[in-house]
Amino acid sequence: MTLVAPVPVQVVDRRSARAFVDAHVVPYADAYDRIGRVPEDLLRHVAAAGLWAPFLPPESGGAGMDLVTLGEVHEEVGRGCSSLRSLLTVHTMVAWTVQRWGTPEQRARWAPGLAAGTTLGAFCLSEPGAGSDTSAIATTAVEGGGGWVLDGVKKWTTGGQRADLFLVFARTAASIGAFLVPRSAPGVRVTPIEDMLGTRASMLAEISFDGVVLGPDALLGPSSGFTAGMVLTGTLDLGRYSVAAGSVGIVQACLEASAAYAACRRVGGRPLAELPLIQAKLSDMVTDARAARLLLAEAGRLKDAGDAGTIMATWIAKYFASTAAVRHAAEAVQIHGANGCSPDYPVARFYRDAKVMEIIEGSNEIQRITIAGQAERETTR
Amino acid sequence: MSHPTAQEQILDFVRGRYPQAEIDAAQDIFALGFVNSLFAMELVMHVEKTFGVTIPNEELRIDNFRTATAMAGLVARLSPTVAAA
Ligand SMILES: Cc1cc2nc3c(=O)[nH]c(=O)nc-3n(C[C@H](O)[C@H](O)[C@H](O)COP(=O)(O)OP(=O)(O)OC[C@H]3O[C@@H](n4cnc5c(N)ncnc54)[C@H](O)[C@@H]3O)c2cc1C
């Protein structure tokens, strides 16, 4: 079975992203979901299209893409395949963090490979005993011998099976530090996690670090508690932005699949699309897709402007888009009836993938707590 | 009309985020207990955008951000023209 089409196009905007995704991703995404991985051919096509880290500046090997456009591109990828979008998300987080916090030497060492996709990045924060509560992480980085020694276990690492470079958050004497750890470092062990509910092709892994010796240049940003929190906040902010974009893509995919199905499927001699109850579902998909897209664009615009308001705008966009994705994926399955529960249509995949969006990069509950905290502050002004 | 000083602008931002707290320029905002990493990030972004400066890694120390006065001092070091305004 061929799993990818040849000849990728360069992705520079939403239009070219859509063309790339329609040619290289949409026809094969169900197969990736079934085999539980994104094949190497597609990873190479993503690289050839310049999709891995186009937001990096040209001197780092990127195209200097603005973040509004990056959001549009990730939406398009998410429309086709949430697993591939997840791989892009964590890679984006690593590449951005190197660019934002790296020294010139760290940038020179890692950014070109991250931009070209010859070095794939993954993000290691969660552990068996620490998810939402990041302060509970138990992985340690102990300073000594002019560098660091890393010990601990990270879980649910998207792309971990395939990544070359891990961005690992670990406890230091002072606070929490962000470390760049090559997969090839002695003491790094990768154990695949298979058979997840959704984003099944995103090649999750548990990564253990057993006395991994790192140089002083493994640490990103200064090791004060103040900035460690910021490295993490900034990294998660961009991840959240990408997941929000991917969630908009899921809503759009649900809409396109449902509208096409409703136009063809006939009941009582009429297409489903003429039934008011079905029309209500489709109109809600149209409305929420647009609303979520606007929230995302606003968050992106604030990022491009360097405006601090982007962090809350991104929380809100991700909350709205991920919950909309779950709602509309459920309705998309409903519109497809038994076919929606079958492997013959993509909506069952959308349904499973959408649920993941409510858990990653800040679960729904954490989002609500954060957004409500802002509301409380604003109303007491 | 005179332009607000860097210190006043920073103080406005902090007060806007935490209107329930009484904050003056010498107040250690970290000692108030409400500063989390999200706000720290917002603070850094706000200072960078408002004053058109890039804060280098070595200046990202908590002491530079404890008070509006300290932040204004940081801005002054990074961008002498802003400080003079
Ligand atoms: C497919 C997938 C991919 C992932 N990829 C990565 C990755 O690449 N890197 C990485 O580091 N992690 C990754 N994760 C992990 C993800 O970040 C965590 O699952 C998430 O942070 C939630 O943590 P948890 O699963 O430990 O749930 P817990 O933190 O144990 O929470 C359990 C439930 O309690 C709720 N809850 C928690 N705290 C509160 C509170 N204060 N108030 C109310 N409710 C609360 C949560 O919302 C959740 O519903 C991935 C997870 C999945 C499913």
CA distance, residue B2 to nearest chain A CA (Å): 24
Pick the CATH number of B6-84 from 3.40.50.150, 1.10.1200.10, 3.40.50.300, 3.40.50.720: 1.10.1200.10
ipTM comes to 0.78
Q: CA B6: distance to chain centroid? A: 8
Task: Provide the token pair at B69.
Answer: 């006065």
A355 domain-assigned: yes
Does residue B48 sit at the A interface (CB-CB below 8 Å)? yes
Nearest CA in chain B to A229: B37
Smallest Cβ–Cβ distance between A224 and the set B37, B44, B62 belongs to B62
Q: Of the residues A185, A207, A223, which one is the last residue of a structural domain? A: A223
A6 domain-assigned: no
CA pair distance A226, A213, nearest whole angstrom: 25
Same domain, A239 and A367: yes
A47 domain-assigned: yes
> What domain range is A114 assigned to?
14-119
CA pair distance A103, A116, nearest whole angstrom: 20
| A57: number of Cβ within 10 Å | 14
Total number of domains constituting chain A: 3
Q: Give me the tens of pLDDT residue by residue for chain A, a chain 381 residues long.
A: 555 555 567 999 999 999 999 999 999 999 999 999 999 999 999 999 999 999 999 999 999 999 999 999 999 999 999 999 999 999 999 999 999 999 999 999 999 999 999 999 999 999 999 999 988 999 999 998 899 999 999 999 999 999 999 999 999 987 889 999 999 999 999 999 999 999 999 999 999 999 999 999 999 986 666 776 788 989 999 999 999 999 999 999 999 999 999 999 999 999 999 999 999 999 999 999 999 999 999 999 999 999 999 999 999 999 999 999 999 999 999 999 999 999 999 999 999 999 999 999 999 999 999 999 888 877 765
Residues of chain A contacting residue B40, judged by C-beta atoms under 8 Å apart: 226, 229-230, 233
Give pTM, 2 decimals: 0.94
A60 domain-assigned: yes
How many beta-carbon contacts under 8 Å exist across A and B? 62
CA pair distance A169, A33, nearest whole angstrom: 29
Does residue B56 sit at the A interface (CB-CB below 8 Å)? no
Residue nearest to atom 23 of ligand 1 (CA): A131
CA pair distance A155, A1, nearest whole angstrom: 32
Same domain, A50 and A109: yes
Instruction: Give the DSSP H or E segment for A181.
Output: strand A176-182
How far apart, in Å, are the Cα atoms of A283 and each of A259, A286, A296, A331? Answer: 10, 5, 20, 12
Task: Provide the token pair at B17.
Answer: 């985020």
| Cβ pair A99, A110 in contact under 8 A | no
**Maximum Cα–Cα distance for chain B, whole Å?**
36
Interface of B with A in 17-46 (CB under 8 A): 17-20, 36-38, 40-46
Q: Of the residues A166, A194, A223, which one is the last residue of a structural domain? A: A223
Residue from B43, B48, B57, B63 to probe the interface with A (highest A Cβ count within 10 Å)? B57
Nearest CA in chain A to B38: A233
Same domain, A370 and A233: yes
A5 domain-assigned: no
Taking an 8 Å cut-off on Cβ atoms, the answer to whether A221 and B48 are in contact is no
User: Domain with A303 in it: what CATH number?
Assistant: 1.20.140.10
Q: CA B15: distance to chain centroid? A: 11
